[in-house]
């Protein structure tokens, strides 16, 4: 399938003409909030559109998860998604994907072999599995490899949730290999950049910090009452919101436990409090939502908790507007896209003071960071926000201002700078990135 955009040679600008983007384990076409789809999917989709608008053609390689998927889909002008058959279409967990790396890598190399030499000017891999494929493509094609980790095994293992299993040594080794092979490592925040350097021995001159963004045209303030009517939520009650995959890492159980604490401390809240959990099961399992429902029943708050399936972006923005507070109690986040989206809609955030959430949330300005995972601490903070609507409104206005610092265009511009630097280094100009 040919690109529909005009071909532009950008060599004189130092930009790649065509980038092979590798996202093996999840597709930018998938619905975020369930399976393995989340912020990474949004990131790849949003920046690819903007890179293509700048004249850089993007070909995204992802594993086919259905026999009904066409081999190639044009996601946007200048952006192709290639569905690569590798292993069974369905029921393959992320921990089983390393066994498909050889097949997937062969298909990526074969796609390039059908074109004249130099078809791709650069490879950008997302997540460590894709980095393994990117390392091979870098060697075979003689082009620079830019890698975005999104999450790091050593960081996750240092902050495991109860019931969560540690990342295997094979992933740690794989990440170390990708770090060593990459011409440029893209970190979401300064904290992640420091982790790459301190925990993985990355060369500081080859680490660039480029913050993810938010679609400020879509995620913006609006009428809360109208939004609540959309979802059948009480117009005069208090709505607390969780958005994300239902898994131990994201810790939606903390919000459910905090809600139980709130109605125990303030019994009058029971008649007006609603907790909305918007998301689906992580990976290919179905146990997490059922376990969360059982927890709500055990805590006697079933009547307070409402579950919603993952929503497309326009509907999600309305759900943020419907809430009084969005709660992000994750044990680890490389950035925290949900927090920024919520703040852009004028809804303050109560989040764990971990990882990228320290960047995504301005403590005391756009929300409140909680330095623990104790539901009682969350109940205390949420209780104050519920009792002080003026304080909540101040944080909401601060959230809009804080979110305005992040945009996908700014992210794409930062990546273009990184691409230029990686290509210069690959040509032998050793000026630090």
* Residue 127 annotated in ligand binding: yes
Asked if residue 25 belongs to a known ligand binding site, the reply is yes
Q: Is 333 annotated as a binding residue?
A: yes
**How far apart are the two ends of the chain, measured CA to CA in Å?**
35
Strand partners, 207: 185
Q: How many C-beta atoms surround the C-beta of residue 89 within 10 A?
A: 15
Sign of CA dihedral 245, 167, 332, 164: positive
Residue 40 is assigned to a ligand binding site: yes
**Per the annotation, does 341 bind a ligand?**
yes
Cβ-Cβ contacts under 8 Å for 340 (sequence gap 6 or more)? 212, 214, 360, 403, 406
Per the annotation, does 34 bind a ligand?
Answer: no
By CB atoms closer than 10 A (0-12, 13-18, 19+), residue 94 is: middle
Please give the radius of gyration of the chain, using alpha carbons only, rounded to the nearest integer. Answer: 22
Whether residue 36 is annotated as binding a ligand: the answer is yes
Of 230, 256, 210, the closest CA to residue 382 belongs to 256
Whether residue 7 is annotated as binding a ligand: the answer is no
Does the annotation place 320 within a ligand binding site? Answer: yes
266 belongs to an annotated ligand binding site: no
Q: Is 347 annotated as a binding residue?
A: yes
Per-residue buried b or exposed e for 66-86, using 16+ beta carbons within 10 Å of the residue's own CB: eeebeeebebbebbbbbbbeb
Structure tokens at 106: 């062969």
Q: Which residues carry a binding-site annotation for UDP-N-acetyl-alpha-D-glucosamine?
A: 31-32, 39, 245, 250, 333, 341
Q: Which residues carry a binding-site annotation?
A: 25, 31-32, 36-41, 94, 127, 151, 171, 245, 250, 320-321, 323, 333, 341, 347
Q: Which residues carry a binding-site annotation for Mg(2+)?
A: 320-321, 323, 347
Q: Which residues carry a binding-site annotation for 1D-myo-inositol 3-phosphate?
A: 25, 36-41, 94, 127, 151, 171
């Amino acid at each position: 399938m040919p690109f529909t955009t005009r071909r532009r040679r950008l060599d004189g600008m130092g930009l790649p003409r065509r980038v092979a983007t590798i996202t093996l384990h999840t597709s930018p076409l998938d619905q975020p909030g369930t399976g393995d789809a989340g912020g990474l999917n949004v990131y790849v989709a949003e920046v690819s559109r903007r890179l293509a608008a700048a004249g850089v053609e993007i070909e995204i390689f992802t594993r086919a998860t259905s026999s009904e998927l066409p081999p190639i889909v044009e996601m946007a002008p200048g952006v192709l998604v290639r569905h690569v058959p590798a292993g069974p279409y369905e029921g393959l967990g992320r921990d089983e994907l390393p066994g498909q790396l050889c097949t997937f890598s062969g298909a990526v190399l074969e796609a390039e072999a059908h074109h004249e030499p130099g078809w791709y000017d650069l490879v950008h891999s997302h997540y460590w599995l894709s980095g393994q494929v990117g390392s091979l493509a870098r060697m075979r094609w003689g082009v620079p490899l830019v890698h975005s980790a999104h999450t790091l095994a050593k960081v996750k293992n240092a902050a495991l949730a109860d019931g969560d299993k540690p990342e295997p040594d094979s992933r740690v080794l794989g990440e170390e290999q990708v770090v060593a092979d990459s011409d440029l490592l893209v970190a979401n925040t300064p904290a992640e950049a420091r982790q790459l350097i301190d925990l993985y021995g990355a060369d500081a001159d080859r680490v660039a910090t480029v913050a993810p963004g938010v679609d400020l045209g879509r995620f913006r303030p609006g009428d809360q009452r109208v939004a609540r009517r959309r979802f059948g939520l009480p117009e005069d009650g208090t709505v607390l919101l969780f958005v994300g995959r239902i898994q131990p890492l994201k810790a939606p159980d903390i919000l459910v436990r905090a809600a139980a604490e709130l109605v125990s401390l303030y019994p009058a809240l029971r008649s007006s409090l609603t907790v909305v959990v918007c998301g689906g099961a992580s990976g290919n399992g179905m146990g997490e939502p059922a376990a969360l429902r059982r927890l709500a029943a055990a805590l006697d708050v079933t009547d307070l908790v409402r579950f919603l399936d993952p929503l497309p972006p326009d509907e999600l923005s309305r759900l943020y507007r419907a809430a009084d507070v969005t709660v992000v109690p994750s044990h680890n986040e490389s950035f925290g896209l949900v927090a920024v989206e919520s703040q852009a809609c004028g809804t303050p955030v109560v989040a764990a003071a971990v990882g990228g959430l320290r960047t995504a949330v301005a403590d005391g300005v756009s929300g409140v960071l909680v330095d623990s995972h104790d539901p009682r601490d969350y109940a205390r903070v949420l209780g104050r926000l519920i009792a002080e609507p003026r304080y909540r409104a101040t944080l909401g206005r601060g959230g809009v201002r804080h979110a305005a610092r992040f945009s996908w265009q700014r992210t794409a511009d930062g990546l273009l700078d990184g691409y230029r630097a990686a290509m210069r280094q690959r040509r032998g100009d050793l000026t630090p990135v």
